[in-house]
């Protein structure tokens, strides 16, 4: 299971999934575990990298088309709840929030994040940035918190899932995830998902194998986390980062390659690595508009509109139940 579906991570789950992944053939790890404190810092560096075009592309959409997105999501409905899955610091969604406030629309914002720290920072910072914003932070698992939001009011729901996080699931997992959201929503509710589009393969590959080695450090940090939290003894110098992009199926994959025959111990479990053996670390799936449409239909939604950056690198797709 590859999933960005955020659930509270316990060490037992982390240990269980790590052992299960390393016992699998081929070996694999789960990228949801990239985000410890050091991983969050490295991911911020990735988003600031020249090569990582995704952040700027989605920011451009939010900055320049916030008015149109606001019109698209509000429709003729007088009141609604805007729920953001994985709100982070809301740097992109703040443009949409501002447009909705400027239009004097009656809405309440529910940022959902698995990190209590993220929610308390939002509670501290949002009122100063947007004094007129009516909001309530929800700390916890996406599905549990979305369910809670649906129980708090029966107003129309507009759900935001940005940042191409859907790409960290394979296509089947993405369908299960979207069908799960659909299950909690009602007719006319809206889902906006950020997708990274298929494009020149080199452009994609460069974003995941930067020259400065930041993505390499992001991947290796998971080995360091396993050493620290699960009593492992990975030698991070004995693994090399390798990214690949397959333009036929849109799968961008990151691997760590063992540079030698070696044994790694985690707790009291031993794992043998052959020289050149790989561990699959992450998938970042890229989509065509047709594939986005197929995903929407297969999970019970209709595509209403696409908002794209000028270079057509990225889309925020508006879906309706």
**Which stretches of the chain bind ligand AVI, using CB under 6 A?**
46, 54, 163-165, 167-168, 208, 215, 218, 282, 284
> Which C-beta is closer to ligand AVI: that of 94 or that of 283?
283
- What is the secondary structure of 135-174 as a DSSP string? B--EES-HHHHHHHHHHH--SEEEEEE-TTGGGGS-HHHH
Q: Taking the complex as a whole, how short is the minimal distance between the CB of residue 224 and ligand AVI, in angstroms?
A: 16
- Residues present in the chain in total: 321
Q: Taking the complex as a whole, how short is the minimal distance between the CB of residue 135 and ligand AVI, in angstroms?
A: 24
Q: How far is CA 219 from CA 39, 262, 286, in A?
A: 9, 19, 20
Beta carbons within 8 Å of 55's beta carbon, 6+ residues apart: 47, 48, 163
> Which C-beta is closer to ligand AVI: that of 176 or that of 297?
176
User: How many angstroms separate the CA atoms of 130 and 128, rounded?
Assistant: 6
- Report the DSSP beta bridge partners of residue 240: 257
The end-to-end CA distance of the chain, in Å, is 26
- Report the DSSP beta bridge partners of residue 316: 194, 307
> Which C-beta is closer to ligand AVI: that of 99 or that of 164?
164
> Which C-beta is closer to ligand AVI: that of 46 or that of 112?
46
Closest CA to 31 of 144, 175, 164: 164
> Which C-beta is closer to ligand AVI: that of 111 or that of 163?
163
> Which C-beta is closer to ligand AVI: that of 158 or that of 283?
283
Q: Taking the complex as a whole, how short is the minimal distance between the CB of residue 35 and ligand AVI, in angstroms?
A: 9
Cβ atoms within 10 Å, residue 192 = 23
User: How many angstroms separate the CA atoms of 319 and 76, rounded?
Assistant: 16
Q: Taking the complex as a whole, how short is the minimal distance between the CB of residue 163 and ligand AVI, in angstroms?
A: 5
Q: Taking the complex as a whole, how short is the minimal distance between the CB of residue 40 and ligand AVI, in angstroms?
A: 11
> Which C-beta is closer to ligand AVI: that of 42 or that of 266?
42
Q: Taking the complex as a whole, how short is the minimal distance between the CB of residue 261 and ligand AVI, in angstroms?
A: 28
Which residue lies nearest ligand AVI, judged by its C-beta?
A: 284
Cβ-contact 148, 142 below 8 angstroms: no
Q: Taking the complex as a whole, how short is the minimal distance between the CB of residue 30 and ligand AVI, in angstroms?
A: 13
């Amino acid at each position: 299971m590859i999933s960005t579906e955020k659930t509270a991570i316990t060490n037992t789950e982390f240990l269980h999934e790590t052992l299960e992944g390393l016992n699998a053939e081929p070996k694999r790890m789960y990228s949801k575990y990239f985000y410890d404190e050091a991983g969050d810092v490295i991911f911020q560096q990735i988003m600031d990298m020249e090569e990582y075009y995704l952040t700027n592309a989605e920011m451009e959409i939010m900055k320049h088309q916030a008015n149109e997105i606001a019109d698209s999501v509000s429709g003729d409905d007088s009141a609604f709840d805007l729920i953001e899955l994985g709100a982070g610091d809301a740097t992109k969604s703040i443009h949409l929030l501002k447009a909705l406030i400027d239009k004097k629309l009656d809405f309440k914002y529910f940022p959902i994040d698995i990190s209590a720290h993220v929610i308390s920072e939002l509670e501290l910072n949002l009122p100063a940035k947007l004094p007129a914003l009516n909001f309530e932070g929800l700390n916890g698992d996406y599905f549990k918190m979305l369910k809670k939001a649906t129980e708090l009011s029966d107003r129309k729901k507009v759900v935001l899932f940005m940042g191409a996080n859907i790409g960290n699931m394979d296509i089947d997992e993405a369908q299960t995830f979207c069908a799960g959201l659909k299950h909690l929503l009602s007719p006319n509710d809206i889902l906006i998902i950020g997708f990274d589009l298929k494009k020149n393969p080199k452009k994609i590959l460069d974003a995941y194998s930067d020259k400065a080695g930041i993505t390499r450090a992001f991947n290796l940090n998971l080995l360091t986390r396993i050493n620290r939290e699960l009593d492992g003894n990975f030698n991070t110098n004995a693994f090399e980062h390798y990214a690949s992009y397959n333009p036929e199926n849109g799968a961008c994959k990151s691997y760590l390659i063992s540079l030698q025959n070696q044994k790694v111990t985690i707790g009291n479990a031993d794992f043998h690595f052959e020289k050149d053996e790989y561990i699959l670390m992450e998938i970042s799936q890229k989509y065509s508009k047709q594939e986005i449409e197929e995903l929407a239909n297969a999970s019970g939604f209709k595509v209403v509109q696409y908002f794209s950056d000028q270079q057509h690198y990225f889309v925020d797709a508006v879906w309706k139940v």
